[in-house]
Amino acid sequence: MDWRRTKTIFIITFLILNIFLVFQILEKRESNQLEILAEASMEEQFKVDEISYGALPKAPDKASYISGNSYVFSEEDKKKLTEQGQKAEIIDEIKLSATWEEPIPLPEMNMITRLETIFQEELLFGDKYEFWGYNPLNKTLIFFQQYDGKNIYSNSSAMVVAYLNDLNELISYEQTYIVDLEKMDVEQDVIPVLDALYNLYGTGDLKPGSEVGNVKLGYYTLVDYTNSHVLIPTWHIVVNDKEDFFVNAFEGSVIKKEIRTLE
């Protein structure tokens, strides 16, 4: 065996490998520098347009779609609620409409805490919902179902709408619920909040002088059949305390906006 030749081959191989690794490091460094420059550019643009925001939540590196099925209410559910002083009716199997025999007064102070207690004591799966806000136009309180500590936004199959009388007492509610919620497929990269804001800016929804308020990662309906649901991770962004925007946390597309008459 020609050891000198073999040694030369090994040296050349290691040189090529080192050159490849150097190029990889330089490429990664350049990519990181471009990301930093892009982020700085966005922040500068927002500053020029007087768009303000507080501390933004850190995006998880990965997330996945989730799926679930509408809960089918049963006669046993009705019986349980009747025993608690409610008159309940099941609508199309997957929606419950209930009325309290006696209205429940709500305090002016610590109302949310009181509502949470009532839900846990009086509603099926009551601890699975979070208060979203109040609509004064029809005197309703809106609650969204949660999964893994995150809201399922604007899904009529995963919410409670509670109704008040003129004395601001709870009188009735309508409820839907999604069960068998689980993650789907492989996890995907989640875009940073700043990217979501910049996409809103690019569509003209985030206007000069705007103030970005609450920002949370939740889920939004991607596919919504009668009983089956597929939901996508979504950034929920409140602007000027009155408009709600939802940005696809995978692709960055703006899903929808709503006029905030809540909270």
pLDDT tens string 184-207: 988 999 999 999 999 998 888 989
Cα end-to-end span (Å), the chain? 82
Longest Cα separation, the chain:
98
Q: Who has greater pLDDT, 114 or 17?
A: 114
The answer to whether residues 164 and 106 belong to one domain is yes
Indicate if the pLDDT at residue 107 is higher than 50. yes
Model's pTM, two decimal places? Answer: 0.78
Indicate if the pLDDT at residue 118 is higher than 60. yes
The answer to whether residues 27 and 92 belong to one domain is no
Indicate if the pLDDT at residue 140 is higher than 80. yes
User: Mean pLDDT of all residues in the chain?
Assistant: 83
The answer to whether residues 196 and 251 belong to one domain is yes
Output phi, psi for 235, to 5 deg.
-85, 125
The answer to whether residues 77 and 174 belong to one domain is yes
- Which of 153, 180, 207 represents a domain boundary (last residue)? 180
The answer to whether residues 138 and 232 belong to one domain is no
The answer to whether residues 100 and 130 belong to one domain is yes
The answer to whether residues 5 and 102 belong to one domain is no
Q: Who has greater pLDDT, 226 or 112?
A: 112
Q: Give the per-residue pLDDT at 135.
A: 87
- CATH number of the domain within which 225 lies: 2.40.128.690
Reference 132, options 108, 153, 105, 103; nearest CA is 153
Report the alpha-carbon distance of residue 93 to residue 74 in Å, rounded: 8
Q: Give the per-residue pLDDT at 37.
A: 37
Q: What is the residue range of 227's domain?
A: 55-65+184-263
Indicate if the pLDDT at residue 12 is higher than 80. no
Beta bridge partners of 83: none
Average pLDDT of span 146-170:
92
The answer to whether residues 75 and 162 belong to one domain is yes
pLDDT tens string 15-68: 554 554 445 444 444 444 434 434 457 788 888 888 898 888 988 889 999 999
The answer to whether residues 170 and 82 belong to one domain is yes
Percent of the chain with pLDDT over 70: 81
Outline where DSSP puts E strands in 71-208.
86-91, 95-105, 129-135, 140-147, 150-153, 159-164, 169-175, 178-183, 188-189
Reference 173, options 100, 224, 222; nearest CA is 100
Q: Give the per-residue pLDDT at 25.
A: 43
Q: Give the per-residue pLDDT at 186.
A: 83
Torsion of CA 194, 198, 199, 203, to 10 degrees: 150
Reference 172, options 122, 132, 125; nearest CA is 122
- Which of 180, 201, 233 represents a domain boundary (last residue)? 180
- Which of 146, 162, 180 represents a domain boundary (last residue)? 180
Using DSSP's 3-state secondary structure scheme, residue 113 falls into helix
The answer to whether residues 13 and 83 belong to one domain is no
Name the domain count of the chain.
Answer: 3
The answer to whether residues 76 and 172 belong to one domain is yes
